[in-house]
Chain A
Amino acid sequence: MIVKVRGVLLRFTNYENDIEVGGETVRAGLNELTERYPNLSEVLLDREGTVRATHLIALNGEQLSPAELDREATEDDRVDIITAVSGG
Chain B
Amino acid sequence: MPRSSTYEVVLDAGLFTPTQLQPTAVGRLAFQAGTRWLRDHLHSHRRLVTEHRVGLVLWAWQLEYEQPLRFEDADEAEVDVRMRVRGPRASQLEAELTVTGPAGVAVRARAASVPLALSGDLALSGAPTTLPEAVVAAFREDEIERTPYLSRVRALRGSFDREGEEIASDTTTFRVHRHHCEVADQWYWAESLGFAGGAREEFVMRHGRKAPELRRSLSEGVRRLDVTWLRAGQLWDLLQVRTTAYRHGGGLAFVHELGLAEDDGGGPYAIVVERI
Contacts and interface: CB of A to CB of B under 8 A. Distances in A.
Given A84-B125, A87-B116, A88-B124, A8 B265 contact: no
Contact of A12 (B123, B233, B234): B123
A56 B263 CA distance: 14
A9 B235 CA distance: 9
A63 to B, nearest CB: 5
B231 A85 contact: yes
B119 A52 contact: yes
B265 A7 contact: no
Given A58-B264, A80-B265, A88-B182, A6 B236 contact: yes
Interface in B220-244: 231-237
Nearest to B55: A87
A48 interface: no
B265 A85 contact: no
A36 interface: no
A8 B235 contact: yes
A58 B266 contact: yes
Interface string B120-134: 011111111000000
A87 B265 contact: no
A80 B185 contact: no
Interface string A47-88: 000001111101001110000000000000000101111111
Interface string B39-83: 000000000010000111100000000000000000000000000
A19 interface: no
Nearest to A39: B122
Interface in A23-53: 39, 42-43, 52-53
A83 B68 CA distance: 41
B137 interface: no
B57 to A, nearest CB: 6
Contacts of B182: 88
Interface of B: 49, 54-57, 116, 118-119, 121-128, 182-186, 231-237, 263-266
Top 10 closest pairs, chain A to chain B, by CB: A87-B55, A7-B234, A54-B125, A86-B184, A87-B116, A88-B183, A6-B234, A88-B184, A61-B265, A8-B123
